[in-house]
Amino acid sequence: MYLAFYLLLDWISFIHPLPAFEVTPWNPPPGVSLALLLAFGMEFWPLSLVAVWLGNVTVHGMAVWSLETLLLTLVVAGGYGLLAALLHRFGGADLRERGGLPRFIAQLAAMALVLGGLYLLVVTFFLEAPQSGFAYALVRYWVGDSIGVLVTTPLLLAVLRPGHWGFIQTREFALQALAVVLSLVVVFGLPWTDEFKYFYLLFLPLTWISLRHGLEGACLTLALIQVGLIVSAQWLGYKGGTVQEMQFLMASLAITGLTLGVTASARKAAESELQRALRLAAAGEMASALAHELNQPLTAVANYARAGQLLLEAGRSGDISDVLDKVATEARRAGAVVRRLRDFFKTGHTRRDPVAILPLVVETIGEVEERARRQSCRLEYAIPADLPPVRGDGVQLQVVLRNLLINALDAVAPESMGSLDEDPEVTLAAHREGDEVLIQVVDNGPGILPQFRDRLFDPFATSKPQGMGLGLAISRAIVEAHGGRLWAESPSAGGSRFCLALPLHHSVHSVSVKPLPVKGAP
């Protein structure tokens, strides 16, 4: 398959050969060989040697076993084999690696120039009569090989290696491909345009596609543009020199497109890793809440199992069935809790259950109450007894409330209060606003630092020496997954106020709970 593709591409691209030197302005076959060696290893170099020899014989019409044919085959195959080895050794074999693209371009440009000189020296040695134009032929060889490889090799590597190609089936890409075709029509198809006057228009769809679809989109678009340029040149009857000038412009397109594509792919990879890190951190934050929730069903299972054992010892085996049903129920409940952690870890999935705010707040306050007492912090909450439930996952929402309360306690810790002459105080209040429940966590600490105000919810933004800066980022991700909002305010009286808005549960408009008075922890 490789040999057939190499020979077909060699035959298609053998256009405008320079007399005597047989050098063309577009030479993509070496890019196929280079992609083979980079993707599958140097052990395939003999196969690339055979491909070059077959191309010289069948396409270029050289004698089968002549010394010139063998030398030219060794120059081309050996040169690109050496380039592959250098890219493996010094970087550039993977364009997605940091600095991979500049290394690839630099080594390719240098090797193409060296090979061009060696190739032309061999050809000149076997010419019957001296020929002028060595320098011109060298430039054509350098341009033809460099552009051919620069467009072909990244595309084949992107196809052979795991990548993201789903965009090809989208309407957006269909529109982008149409933009490429229209740009080619404007550049080459309009009779009143000067030669290459509007070539810059090709940068527009290339930039669009590269930034939207990364390296894969850039490689595919460059291949489409290259084919379009060659077809247009042949159709319009351009001479070899004109095609060579066009390839210089193609070089700027290729370098720009690949640079944008690599940058966009790196950005997407970093965003994906960040989201994965956030999910891992969120799973860690949820672990304590889940452990607390698992404690009840596991304790119940142990109690029921002990009760069943006592019933058996008392000879009351008829009552065992009810006990086992209760054990199974509690075990299913524990399993459901674990599945919620797994689902959030894998997909960010959240439940859509009715969640009563008052019991959630009471339980979360209870977890931090001891710390507030140690800090001599007054911890208060005020929740209306008739506050309707919100829609979501109680465990995940408890993670959010715990993060907000811990941050508030950090803000009023002795080392944070400094010279502030106020007793530390944290207040949690909630009320209904339209179709939402608004929860506010307020502290009277020093407030939000100005340098963090605009990036407070960004990952890794923290002013705490031991903090990771993930708590608020995780909390906002959880809240937004619930269809809610989380933001921070700086009250005029000082301190900070974090506001959490959650949508009401659609099927329940009120919840009956026993009134609970405002509670403080001196």
d(CA 103, CA 334): 54
- Cross-strand partners of 379: 426
DSSP code per residue over 222-263 = HHHHHHHHHHHHHHHT--HHHHHHHHHHHHHHHHHHHHHHHH
CATH value of 353-503 in 1.10.1060.10, 3.40.50.300, 3.30.565.10, 3.40.50.10490: 3.30.565.10
In 3D space, the residue among 98, 99, 100 whose CA is nearest the CA of residue 270 turns out to be 98
Phi, psi of 464 (to 5 degrees): -85, 130
Task: Please provide the size of the chain in residues.
Answer: 522
Helices 471-481, 240-313: inter-axial angle, 10-degree rounding:
90
- Cross-strand partners of 311: none
Task: Evaluate whether 151 touches 36 at the Cβ level (below 8 Å).
Answer: no
Pairing type for strands 425-433 and 378-382 reads parallel
Task: Evaluate whether 51 touches 6 at the Cβ level (below 8 Å).
Answer: yes
In 3D space, the residue among 425, 284, 286, 432 whose CA is nearest the CA of residue 357 turns out to be 432
Whether this model's pTM surpasses 0.75: no
d(CA 288, CA 290): 5
CATH of domain 1-154: 1.10.1760.20
d(CA 505, CA 513): 16
Which residues, at least 6 apart from 383, have a Cβ–Cβ distance to it below 8 Å? Answer: 357, 358, 361, 428, 429, 430, 516
Helices 240-313, 134-160: inter-axial angle, 10-degree rounding:
20
Question: Tokens in use for 266?
Answer: 């790196």
Question: Tokens in use for 321?
Answer: 């069935």
pLDDT tens-place values along the chain, 522 residues long: 899 999 999 999 998 888 888 899 989 999 999 999 999 999 999 999 999 999 999 999 899 999 999 999 999 999 999 999 999 998 888 888 888 999 999 999 999 999 999 999 999 998 876 777 899 999 999 999 999 999 999 999 999 888 788 899 999 999 999 999 999 988 887 776 666 678 888 999 999 999 999 999 999 999 999 999 999 888 888 887 888 888 888 999 999 999 999 999 988 888 888 777 766 666 665 565 566 556 656 777 887 788 888 888 887 777 788 878 878 877 876 776 677 666 665 666 667 889 999 999 998 888 788 888 888 899 999 999 889 999 988 878 887 898 899 889 988 888 777 667 788 899 999 999 988 999 999 998 888 877 777 777 776 666 565 555 667 887 888 888 888 999 988 887 788 999 999 999 874 433 333 333 334 333
pLDDT for the residue 520: 39
Helix or strand holding residue 503 (H, E): strand 496-503
